[in-house]
C-alpha cells in the first residue's frame, strides 16, 4: 500500500555550472504546516547518502524573503554548511521571480544567512554567520598516520614522510579552527609544488582526530581535516588554493564551503592587515573528477585581529527532481 504523504525534492550540483561536477545536494521541500520529525529527516538524509541534505521549509507567504532550512549529513544535523547554503539559494532563485531572490535570508541553526543571487552569472553570494575560534590544542605532524601510499604502494607510517628532507621554515603543527560552534576543521597545509595533496588516501580511519581536545565551550562539534596547498598569490591578498576534505564517515567531499571559509579566515587572521579584505579561489574535488570552484572573501576589523565579514560564493545547477514517499 502506497503512503499518502509525499514530499517533492530536487538535487543540485553545487560550486559548478556543469552537471555531474561539483558537490551533489538534495533539497527536500517541506510545505507549510507539514510535521517532519528529526528522525524522519535523518532517515531521508541517509537515503540520499549525499554529504548533506537540506530541508527547505515553505515561507508563510509565497513572496517571503526568509526561508528556514535544516541541514543533515548521513549521521547528524549541522548548524551550518557551505554547499547547502549556496545550493539552496540557487534552487530558490531558479524557480522564483528574479526580483524576489535578489536578496534572500536563510534561517539556519547557526543564525541568519543574508544572500544575493546574480541571474546574469548564475551565482550566489552569502554572508556567513561566524565566530571564528582557534583552539588551544593543535595537531602535531607526527600524529597524522597512514594517510598516503608510497610509490611502492606501501603506506607511510607518518605524514613527516611527505615533507621535504629539510623542513626548516615549514610548520609541522596544524591549527584546529572553528568557523562557528559545531563546525571545526584541522587545517593541514602542504608546501607548494610538492605533489603531496594528490597522494592522500581515502578510507583510512583518522584516529588522531579523537585525541584532540577542543576548547570546552565549543563542544560538541563536527570535526574533520581539510588538506590544502596554496597554488599562487597576487600581492598577498588574492590567493588560489587547491584543497581536499577527507573524513572517515563521509569519505571524500567534492566541495566543503564551511571548511573553505574556515581556512580563508585563518589565513587572513595570520596575515592580519587592519581593515583588509582577502579573496580566495579554492579548487576542490579534482581528484574525484568532480571539480568544484569555491569563492571566499574575508574582511578583517580595523585592528586586523578579528574577522568582520565572511562572504561565500559559487554556482549550482539542477540535475534531478522527484518525490519522496513517507
Tell me: the pLDDT tens digits for 264-318? 999 999 999 999 999 999 999 999 999 999 999 999 999 999 999 999 999 999 9
Residues 267/239, Cβ–Cβ less than 8 Å: yes
Quote the pTM value: 0.88
* pLDDT tier, 50 (very low <50, low <70, confident <90, very high otherwise): very high
pLDDT of residue 131: 95
* Residue 58 reports pLDDT greater than 50: yes
10 Å CB burial of residue 323 (0-12, 13-18, 19+) is exposed
Which position has the higher pLDDT, 225 or 69? 69
Give the pLDDT confidence score for residue 194 in this predicted structure: 78
Query: Which one, of 288, 289, 210, 292, lies nearest residue 251 by Cα?
Result: 288
Q: What is the pLDDT of residue 100?
A: 57
Q: Classify 85 as helix, strand or coil.
A: helix
In this structure, what C-alpha cell is assigned to residue 42?
535523518
Number of neighbouring beta carbons within 10 Å of residue 169: 6
The SS3 assignment for 326 reads: coil
- Region 228-249 average pLDDT: 88
- Is pLDDT of 70 > 90? yes
Higher pLDDT, 212 or 64: 212
Reply yes or no on whether the pLDDT at 147 is more than 80: no
In the chain, beta strands by DSSP E:
6-14, 23-30, 53-57, 66-72, 77-78, 103-108, 111-118, 123-127, 133-140, 173-180, 183-189, 222-234, 238-247, 251-253, 277-284, 292-300, 307-325
**Residue 202 pLDDT greater than 50, yes or no:** yes
Report the distance separating Cα 88 and Cα 234, nearest Å.
Answer: 32
pLDDT at 168 over 80: no
pLDDT for 250 beyond 90: no
- What is the reported pLDDT for 196? 80
In this prediction, residue 172 has a pLDDT band, given cuts at 50, 70 and 90, of confident
What is the predicted pLDDT for the residue at 143?
58
- Which pLDDT does position 192 carry in this prediction? 84
Angstrom distance (rounded) from CA 326 to CA 318: 23
Which is more confidently placed, 64 or 127?
A: 127
Q: What is the pLDDT of residue 256?
A: 96
C-alpha–C-alpha distance, residues 87 and 260, integer Å: 15
* pLDDT for the residue 148: 41
Evaluate if residue 141 carries a pLDDT over 60.
Answer: yes
Checking if the pLDDT of 3 tops 80, the result is no
CA neighbor of 127 nearest in space, from 139, 111, 141, 146 = 111
Taking a C-beta distance cutoff of 8 angstroms, is the pair 211, 174 a contact?
A: no
* CA nearest to 182, candidates 112, 136, 229, 129: 129
Does position 116 have pLDDT exceeding 70, yes or no?
yes
Query: Do residues 143 and 186 lie in contact, with contact meaning Cβ atoms separated by under 8 Å?
Result: no
Q: How far is CA 143 from CA 187, 249, 251, 262, in A?
A: 14, 20, 20, 22
* Per-residue confidence band for 144, with pLDDT thresholds at 50, 70 and 90: low
Which residues sit opposite 114 in a β-bridge? 105, 127
Angle formed at CA 13 by CA 8 and CA 18, multiple of 5 degrees: 130
Among 57, 163, 19, 73, residue whose Cα is nearest residue 11: 19
What integer best gives the mean pLDDT of the chain?
86
Amino acid at each position: 500500500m502506497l503512503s499518502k504523504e509525499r514530499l517533492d525534492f530536487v538535487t543540485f550540483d553545487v560550486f559548478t555550472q556543469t552537471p555531474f561536477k561539483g558537490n551533489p545536494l538534495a533539497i527536500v521541500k517541506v510545505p507549510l504546516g507539514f510535521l517532519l520529525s528529526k528522525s524522519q529527516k535523518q532517515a531521508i538524509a541517509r537515503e540520499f547518502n549525499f554529504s548533506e541534505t537540506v530541508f527547505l521549509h515553505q515561507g508563510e507567504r509565497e513572496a517571503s524573503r526568509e526561508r528556514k532550512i535544516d541541514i543533515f549529513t548521513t549521521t547528524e544535523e549541522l548548524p551550518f554548511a557551505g554547499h547547502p547554503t549556496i545550493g539552496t539559494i540557487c534552487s530558490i532563485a531558479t524557480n522564483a521571480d528574479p526580483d524576489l531572490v535578489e536578496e534572500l535570508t536563510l534561517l539556519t541553526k547557526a543564525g541568519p544567512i543574508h544572500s544575493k543571487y546574480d541571474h546574469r552569472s548564475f551565482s550566489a553570494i552569502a554572508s556567513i554567520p561566524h565566530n571564528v575560534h582557534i583552539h588551544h590544542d593543535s595537531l602535531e605532524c607526527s600524529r597524522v598516520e597512514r594517510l598516503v601510499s608510497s610509490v611502492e604502494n606501501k603506506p607511510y607510517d607518518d605524514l613527516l614522510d611527505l615533507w621535504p628532507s629539510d623542513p626548516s621554515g615549514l610548520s609541522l603543527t596544524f591549527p584546529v579552527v572553528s568557523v562557528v560552534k559545531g563546525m571545526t576543521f584541522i587545517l593541514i597545509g602542504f608546501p607548494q609544488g610538492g605533489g603531496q595533496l594528490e597522494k592522500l588516501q581515502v578510507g583510512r580511519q583518522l584516529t588522531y582526530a579523537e585525541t584532540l581536545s577542543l576548547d570546552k565551550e565549543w563542544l560538541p562539534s563536527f570535526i574533520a581535516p581539510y588538506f590544502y596547498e596554496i597554488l599562487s598569490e597576487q600581492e598577498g591578498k588574492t590567493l588560489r588554493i587547491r584543497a581536499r576534505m577527507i573524513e572517515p564517515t563521509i569519505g571524500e567531499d567534492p566541495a566543503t564551503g564551511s571548511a573553505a571559509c574556515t581556512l580563508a579566515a585563518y589565513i587572513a587572521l595570520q596575515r592580519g592587515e587592519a581593515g583588509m579584505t582577502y579573496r580566495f579561489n579554492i579548487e576542490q574535488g579534482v581528484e574525484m573528477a568532480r571539480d568544484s570552484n569555491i569563492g571566499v572573501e574575508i574582511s578583517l576589523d580595523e585592528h586586523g585581529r578579528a574577522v568582520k565579514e565572511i562572504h561565500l560564493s559559487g554556482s549550482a545547477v539542477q540535475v534531478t527532481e522527484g518525490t519522496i514517499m513517507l
